[in-house]
Structure 1
Amino acid sequence: MNRVIVTGGAGFIGSAMVWRLNQAGIDNILIVDNLNTSEKWRNLLGLRYADYLHKDIFLAQLKAGELDFQPDAMVHLGACSVTTEADGDYLMENNFRYTKTLAEWATARGVRFLYASSGQTYGDGERGFADDDAVAPYLRPITRYGYSKHFFDLHALRTRLTEEIVGVKFFNVFGPNEYHKDDMRSVVHKAFQQVQAEGTIKLFKSYHPDYTDGGQTRDFVYVKDCVEVLFWFLQHPEENGIFNIGTGRAHSWNDLAHAVFSAMGREPQIEYIEMPERLKGNYQYHTQATIEKLRTVGCDVTFRSLDDAIADYIQNHLSTLQPYL
């Protein structure tokens, strides 16, 4: 896998993937993205890659058979990842149809294809968090974003594309190179800034009787571990299907806040605030990936503990003068 296309390659997980490829000595990389006026161009500083194409130009060239870059693999991480995006048509075009076109192009040419799904496909978790193909048709996402990802998963299963490609359902990813994501930045990054500015961390109150304020739980997974899993799948083209990428452990927002304070050498001070009305009906109170399927195919990537991952992120990135990967 010496020639790789990474879509969303200037984004959070995408730029981390390019970094991981560079670590393996791979720099014949085509980055596809939409830089526009965002700050994510900074994620490209220090990375080694051969070329860059805007996502619309890339798609047009690909459809017209004019793409000069002939890859061994394509890692498709480009998407609208704004979980509160309200334009359903845009999400279906950008997240579903774009992925469908790339997957069909890659499989027709024997190009290894990996794509990003999402833990949001599991909705409120009523049907669990198992990456079992038999369960997928019964999942009920609670956001338009989650549904746009879920719809391609269903397409891939129905057409048996999953026998040739890899889909990964990312849970709550945090880490370096997310700085451009505005409100979609992880709570770790937001909390770090809050502690620096005010000495406190703000968490949402709970509106569910089974969860205390800040007691809502998530499967938090470090971006460096996520790209290790993606790299493993590039090295094992015999393994295909849809897999969760999470630690398999759930932690509360309170746990996360305490880990941030610890990494910063501060005493915990947490303030609980009202949740915006627009989120109350679309809020996941618990997520926890099952990773048995990942282990069954032989992926032995070790996921850092929450404390270790947050300490690395804060002490080796957020607190330094050169925070990027």
Structure 2
Amino acid sequence: MIIITGAAGFIGSCLVQKLNDEGFYDLVLVDDFSNENKNKNFEGKRYSKQVNRDVFAEWLRENHLHVQFVFHIGARTDTTEMDVKLFNQLNLDYTKTIWNICTEFGLPLVYASSAATYGLGELGYDDDESRIPMLKPLNPYGDSKNDFDIWALKQEKKPYFWAGLKFFNVYGPNEYHKGRMASVIFHTFNQIRETGSMKLFQSHNPDFKDGEQMRDFVYIKDVVNVLYFLMHHRKDSGIYNLGTGKARTFLDLAKGTFKALDKEPSISFVPTPEDIREKYQYFTEANMAKLRSIGYSQDFYNLEDGIEDYVKNYLVPGKFL
């Protein structure tokens, strides 16, 4: 059996599809399945069992002999949420529990970290583990991810193989339920469809013009390819960046979405909401040398090709991955 936590969510459900495509069907989906809005993400996919996240730790202890691999993708990912106790419960402590069980029973583990751990990028975007304790995330979500990375690195006892992946700005099918946290491509598509135009955030940083804020946008198909690679690799444990290594502007992203829809760009700018303005990342770019060094050699989608695939093959026809 292969475990996927967060299996009803964006990345988790796309990983389920990837595993199905590769001939893996004995999958255990773990999530809070009470959110019916996400159920479309795993409809039509093949799996063995659903386990509610509240009883998963107990279930894993009882069934560890049948488990081959654990993907812990589930997390509270709302960067605007300020309840530290909630993040400690769902991100930090929950992941510690899974880590300890995997260590005890010899189960390989890949878990989701985040590029939010890099904060404003004062120390760059290099996944050098010696720098991780010095990082300064901008919100409780980033803190919870960085706190776990620090804790994991300090442990004397670890799973025989483990990897933490710092996801950068992931976009693609199955993110429709994320609301405000969905990618700007998703929001651009919907705004164009509803109004014929797109409103991007203004820059409140004199070093960046409006729309020229830059992020490392990585397509979900690349993300699940890396996850699949690590499932088979099972060596070189550690914490890895997962982006493309190439920062692009939000203007590039919006223009690419208009192009995929065969429409002329109509873009304006609105003030960045005050609740995120002071904690806004103006630039992220993953250093991908470490993942490449352990043998991952596939090319990543460039932004234009990723947008075109997402818009034409998923958003327009209303399909899921």
> Of 221, 244, 249, which residue of structure 2 is paired with 1:247?
244
Secondary structure of the residue that 1:134 maps to in structure 2? helix
Q: Which moved more, 1:101-110 or 1:6-15?
A: 101-110
Match in the other structure for 2:20: 22
Match in the other structure for 1:109: 105
Match in the other structure for 2:291: 294
Secondary structure of the residue that 1:56 maps to in structure 2? helix
Gaps of 5+ in 2: none
For residues 171 and 61 of structure 1, what CA distance do their matches in structure 2 show? 31
- For 2:136, the aligned partner's letter is R
- Displacement of 1:36 in angstroms is 1.5
- Displacement of 1:169 in angstroms is 0.3
- For 2:24, the aligned partner's letter is I
Superposed CA RMSD: 1.3
Match in the other structure for 1:128: 124
TM-score by length of 1: 0.96
Match in the other structure for 2:34: 36
For residues 37 and 249 of structure 1, what CA distance do their matches in structure 2 show? 35
Pairs within 5 Å for 1:4-15? 4-15=2-13
For residues 159 and 128 of structure 2, what CA distance do their matches in structure 1 show? 12
Deviation per residue, 1:228-253 (Å, 9 max, x gap): 00000001012211000000000010
Deviation per residue, 1:158-214 (Å, 9 max, x gap): 115387311100000000000111111111001000001111111000010100011
Gaps of 5+ in 1: none
User: Contact (CA 8 Å) 2:107, 2:160: kept in 1 or not?
Assistant: no
> Of 53, 59, 65, which residue of structure 1 is paired with 2:57?
59
The answer to whether structure 1 residue 281 and structure 2 residue 281 are counterparts is no
Report how many residues are paired.
320
Match in the other structure for 1:154: 150
- For 2:66, the aligned partner's letter is Q
- Displacement of 1:112 in angstroms is 1.2
Change (3 A) 1:4 1:314: same
- For 1:95, the aligned partner's letter is N
Secondary structure of the residue that 1:207 maps to in structure 2? coil
- For 1:50, the aligned partner's letter is S
The answer to whether structure 1 residue 85 and structure 2 residue 81 are counterparts is yes
For residues 68 and 229 of structure 1, what CA distance do their matches in structure 2 show? 24
For residues 237 and 245 of structure 2, what CA distance do their matches in structure 1 show? 20
* Aligned residues with identical type, % of pairs: 42
